[in-house]
Amino acid sequence: MQILYEDNHLIALVKPCGIAVMGLPAGQETLLTQTKAYIKVKYNKPGEVYLGVVSRLDVPVSGVVLFARTSKAAARINEQFRTHTVEKIYAALVEGFVQPPEDECIDRLENDKRHRKVHITDNLSGKESLLRYKTLRRIGKNTLLEINLQTGRKHQIRLQLSSRGYPILGDIKYGSRLSFRDGIALHAWKLRFDHPITKERIELVAELPSFGILQR
């Protein structure tokens, strides 16, 4: 367990690929259950440990995950997410040479529960989704992008990049033709927010993975 930040109000960790943040049946391990167990032992806490999930990542995605250790902290951080004052920076390795090298993507996204995917739609019922990206460098025939996620829709980065012809490596669900070492080549790199109690601006950084390709 790699801890990035910990105090009486918050705890942040680096989530590896392949583990769910939460939401599995009782008895199955998640990042949430692991972190609760860590806190229970470290602080010798009796009974159930409270942890509020204030940021989430898909199972195949790695990077920064933030939990609140009190309900007050959870409410204040969630309000920052709601008002878009939290900065969410991702790194993604995508297929091909991205053009233009820097751009803004705006779409309406609609959840397809039957196929467990998300689609772009013209319907006003779709949720407006915005991200900005810029090219960091090319790696072989692929492009490493820095992504500033303005909204936080399900599978948003994965779909918006794929729909423009640049699927994330390993993301077969959204059109990738390449295998990836672990999960998919999407990493929650940096998270910036105001501490819910001290109001200090906090930056959490999860070191970038190597993003290697196993095979075509």
In a domain, 182, yes or no: yes
* % helix, strand, coil for the chain, step of 5: 15, 40, 45
In a domain, 6, yes or no: yes
In a domain, 26, yes or no: yes
What pLDDT shows up at residue 28? 86
**What's the structural domain count of the chain?**
1
75 vs 101: CA distance, rounded Å: 37
In a domain, 102, yes or no: yes
Q: What's the CATH number where 159 sits?
A: 3.30.2350.10
What pLDDT shows up at residue 212? 58
What pLDDT shows up at residue 200? 98
In a domain, 184, yes or no: yes
In a domain, 145, yes or no: yes
In a domain, 212, yes or no: no
What pLDDT shows up at residue 80? 97
| Residue 190, domain extent | 2-205
Q: What is the pTM of this model?
A: 0.92
Q: How many CB atoms lie within 10 A of CB 126?
A: 17
**What is the residue-level pLDDT of the chain in tens, covering all 216 positions?**
899 999 999 999 999 999 999 988 878 899 999 999 999 999 998 889 999 999 999 999 999 999 999 999 999 999 999 999 999 999 999 999 999 999 999 999 998 877 788 999 998 888 999 999 999 999 999 999 999 999 989 999 999 999 999 999 999 999 999 888 778 999 999 999 999 999 999 999 999 988 754 433
> In terms of C-beta distances under 8 Å and separation of at least 24 residues, what long-range contacts does 79-86 make, across chains too?
80/193, 80/194, 81/54, 81/55, 81/152, 84/150, 84/151, 85/193, 85/194, 86/191, 86/192, 86/193
Place of tokens 């990493």: 187
127 vs 129: CA distance, rounded Å: 6
In a domain, 103, yes or no: yes
